[in-house]
Structure 1
Amino acid sequence: MKSNYYFKHSNNINYQEFDSFVEKNGHLLQTSAWGKLKSKNGWHAEYIALYRGKEIVATCTILFRRLGALNYTLAYIPKGFVFIEKNEKVDSLIRDEIIKVSQQYKAVALDMEPNIARDDSIVAYFEKLGFKHQGFEADKFIYQTQFDMIVDLTKNEDIKDSFPKKNQKLLDKSIKEGLEFRKASIDEIDIFANLSDITSKRNSISLRKGSYYKQIVELFSESNNCDYFLVELNKETFKKEAEKKVKRMAKEIAGSEKRELNENAKVDLALKRKKLRSIEEDITKLDGNKPIYLAGCLVLYCGDMAYYLYAASSNEFRYLQPNVFMNYYAMMEAKKRGCTGYNLGGYKSKDDGLYPFKLSLGADSKEFVGIFSYVINKPIYKILKKGLAIRSKLKKIKKSLRK
């Protein structure tokens, strides 16, 4: 190694310099705060910074996870490593250091998932460095999603102008009917945890527990890189608008009941009666002093990108579109911070129910290059791979016997 190149590691790294470099050149999942979060939840994080003189030229956060009861680990680099530009000398140096550190933690293999758009030249470049590309098939993306939906916050002064006309109208309606958006404190994290539990049951998915969300807010708030937002229903405003609707609809229904109606008109009348009852029921839900929270989200920041990382919503008043309302104001907050992009997170395919929702918020799709693997301990890797293949076959046999 040339004398002007040298490494710093977890025990002697300047984390402020490390994160500053990541924020300028990399992804949220490569920050030290993300490594600390994962270290509290089953992984172990190690950090590497490559210097040229006094300047950082590449960094890497590596996550290690034990392989069951075995004395081996799997190494994973989410959205990294981070570099300024392709430089075979620099990239070879940090590759060798990544492998060295992985060996110290008895990693059998390393999976690296760069924060780079799909590009055949990048595949060739990393394969030249000794990594094997896992492919572009959907099932090869076992960590992060293949596609992200990102809103360009620089297109319009008012983000609302990026929305389709339908969502613009929904947003206006949400504001008129009493939705309110505000920053919440860590002391209110139980509200989000409760909304998360509701969302989990409604969508039959597994979400995180309240302690995890609290850790996120604590860790990223240290560098002012986290906002926790809540959407609350203003009962007085909602009631006022709802009572206007009740009065208007009751008058329409009374007028229809006086006339002789054809079959289509009878169906329309039945629907109006049903909607009227629904509004009246919603008015009764306003009783009491307890606030009504409809949605919440955690937005993290890294450089000029905002990440809509976790979101949850209530089963009540869903027709008021609190998620559209919440994202609009969260985007405007990100824009105020100087962010140029708002990452709504990923989707698996265009058949995924998340895709049309994120598209309706003015987001564009970005496809990533995928996973590159490096086998570090070939003998153990072969044994484990064979064992996993046998286990997979046994599962298929058992499944066929149950049919």
Structure 2
Amino acid sequence: MTVLLSPASNHPEVLEFNDFVANHRYGTLMQAPAWAHVKNTWTADYVILRDETGHITAGMQILSINNPVGGALLYANRGPVMDLYDVKLFEQLLEEAKQVAQARNGFLLRMDPAVAYDPVLVADLRKLDLVVKSTEVEDKHAFTNPPLTMILHFNNRSFEEILAGFSSRFRGKLNKSYRGGLTTRFVSAADPQIGDAYDTFYDLYKVTGERQGFGIRPKDYYARILEGFKDCAYIVITQSAEGQPLASTLLVNYGEKSMYLFAASGNEMRNLNPSVQLNIECVKFALEQGKTHYDMGGLWSFDMEDGLYRFKRDICSEAGAREYLGELDLVFDKEKYAQFIS
């Protein structure tokens, strides 16, 4: 067992934990130590369990921040990383996490692991000293993170085989983008040109937010993702034949997974389907990089009236729809917790 309180990012056990997360079936970039660089106003601590041979079997990065109710909110974003079906191991992890809560004066540890919903597992977790929010919550916006996602699993298929699996209507949209002269380029976070590419992404993201009616974070927030994941992050830009940027994203290839973050697009030439080409080029790139699947990120509904869901469904198919099991709250101060959730 190891509890690391605010360790340096190059601490040997933090580096080992990063490798564990990157290669674990339930690991995501939100549990990567680099995510602590993104959430730079939070304090990062780590709880790690090992087997008798010294190999990590379970762990979580816990971010904490002071909350107006008094004390600190502790959050394991998409954690813990482990086999949650091993409930006894999970209980051990929670017991060790109490050291972090004590050190940070925490009133709550919130967890939302990247584990698919399973009613049997949820029932087992409800037997523990946890407040569990799951599929019974109708308003999905009540969750800290979207509880739904869409994932394209490659399943050892070639790019050509994946293309063949798309509907003829979708392939027609893709072909139209190429016939219209659109091209897509990838700029690595380590590339000297990343600054200009990032400006393009952010400008398009602002346009998207204005068009769709959502706010976006300050510019330095997304820049920290590029800094933290410098060896595996990219700005992807789809542009017209004349070089006008039309769509963009921030792509992170972490471990075996490729994750599409923050879809951005302008208002021009939308009839040429730049976002379709951008995503399919990202899929092709992920395959070339040896990734196992393409994660298109969170959703608040699987409603066909939701255009974002329909777009992601065209790429991932119905088989790519996943609902996570929900939120697991370990409460240390019931009075403050009641204020927090009210």
Q: The TM-score by the shorter chain falls in which range?
A: 0.7 to 0.9
The match for 2:195 is: 187
Superposition deviation, residue 179 in structure 1: 0.5
What is the letter of the counterpart of residue 380 of structure 1? K
Superposition deviation, residue 18 in structure 1: 0.7
Native 8 Å contact 1:196 1:208 kept in 2: no
What are the Cα deviations for residues 296-344 of structure 1, in whole angstroms up to 9, with x where unaligned?
A: 1111123221110112011111101000000000010011111111111
Closer, same or farther: CA 85–110 of 1 in aligned 2, 3 Å: closer
Native 8 Å contact 1:192 1:210 kept in 2: no
What is the letter of the counterpart of residue 13 of structure 2? N
The match for 1:151 is: 152
Residue 324 of structure 2 corresponds to residue 368 of structure 1: yes
The match for 1:162 is: 165
| Aligned equivalents of 1:175, 1:48: Cα separation in 2 | 49
The match for 1:202 is: 211
The match for 2:233 is: 226
Structure 2: segments with no counterpart, 5+ residues: 188-192
Superposition deviation, residue 54 in structure 1: 2.4
Structure 1 residue corresponding to 2:259, chosen from 289, 293, 307? 307
What is the letter of the counterpart of residue 66 of structure 1? N
| Aligned equivalents of 2:158, 2:138: Cα separation in 1 | 33
Aligned residues: CA RMSD: 2.0
| Aligned equivalents of 1:337, 1:74: Cα separation in 2 | 37
Superposition deviation, residue 139 in structure 1: 2.3
Residue 62 of structure 2 corresponds to residue 67 of structure 1: no
Moved more, 299-308 or 328-337: 299-308
Structure 2 residue corresponding to 1:212, chosen from 206, 221, 236? 221
Superposition deviation, residue 352 in structure 1: 2.3
| Aligned equivalents of 1:332, 1:169: Cα separation in 2 | 17
Superposition deviation, residue 294 in structure 1: 0.5
Superposition deviation, residue 346 in structure 1: 2.0
Structure 1: segments with no counterpart, 5+ residues: 236-290, 390-403
What is the letter of the counterpart of residue 232 of structure 1? Q
What are the Cα deviations for residues 83-134 of structure 1, in whole angstroms up to 9, with x where unaligned?
A: 1463344322211111220222112122211111111221123223321212
Question: Percent of aligned positions with the same letter in both sequences?
Answer: 29
- Give the alignment's TM-score, normalised by structure 1: 0.75
SS of structure 1 residue aligned to 2:110: strand
Superposition deviation, residue 9 in structure 1: 4.8
What is the letter of the counterpart of residue 90 of structure 2? D
User: Could you say which structure has the larger radius of gyration?
Assistant: 1
Superposition deviation, residue 199 in structure 1: 0.8
What is the letter of the counterpart of residue 224 of structure 2? Q
How many residue pairs are counted as aligned between the two chains?
Answer: 322
Closer, same or farther: CA 7–108 of 1 in aligned 2, 3 Å: closer
Aligned residue runs from structure 1 range 3-402, under 5 A:
5-11=1-7, 13-25=12-24, 26-38=27-39, 40=40, 42-52=41-51, 53-68=53-68, 71-84=70-83, 86-136=85-135, 137-139=137-139, 141-154=142-155, 155-158=157-160, 159-184=162-187, 185-188=193-196, 189-221=198-230, 224-235=231-242, 291-349=243-301, 350=303, 351-363=305-317, 364-382=320-338, 384=339, 389=342
Superposition deviation, residue 76 in structure 1: 1.5
| Aligned equivalents of 2:180, 2:336: Cα separation in 1 | 62
Closer, same or farther: CA 162–103 of 1 in aligned 2, 3 Å: farther
Native 8 Å contact 1:164 1:361 kept in 2: no
Superposition deviation, residue 71 in structure 1: 4.2
What is the letter of the counterpart of residue 167 of structure 1? F
What is the letter of the counterpart of residue 310 of structure 2? P
Closer, same or farther: CA 67–337 of 1 in aligned 2, 3 Å: same
Native 8 Å contact 2:147 2:300 kept in 1: yes
Closer, same or farther: CA 176–165 of 1 in aligned 2, 3 Å: same
SS of structure 2 residue aligned to 1:345: strand
What is the letter of the counterpart of residue 36 of structure 1? H
What is the letter of the counterpart of residue 235 of structure 2? Y
| Aligned equivalents of 2:222, 2:47: Cα separation in 1 | 27
Superposition deviation, residue 148 in structure 1: 0.5
| Aligned equivalents of 2:2, 2:170: Cα separation in 1 | 52
| Aligned equivalents of 1:51, 1:135: Cα separation in 2 | 29
Native 8 Å contact 1:111 1:374 kept in 2: yes
| Aligned equivalents of 2:49, 2:271: Cα separation in 1 | 52
Superposition deviation, residue 198 in structure 1: 0.8
Native 8 Å contact 2:6 2:43 kept in 1: no
| Aligned equivalents of 1:166, 1:101: Cα separation in 2 | 52
Native 8 Å contact 1:295 1:322 kept in 2: yes
Superposition deviation, residue 34 in structure 1: 1.1
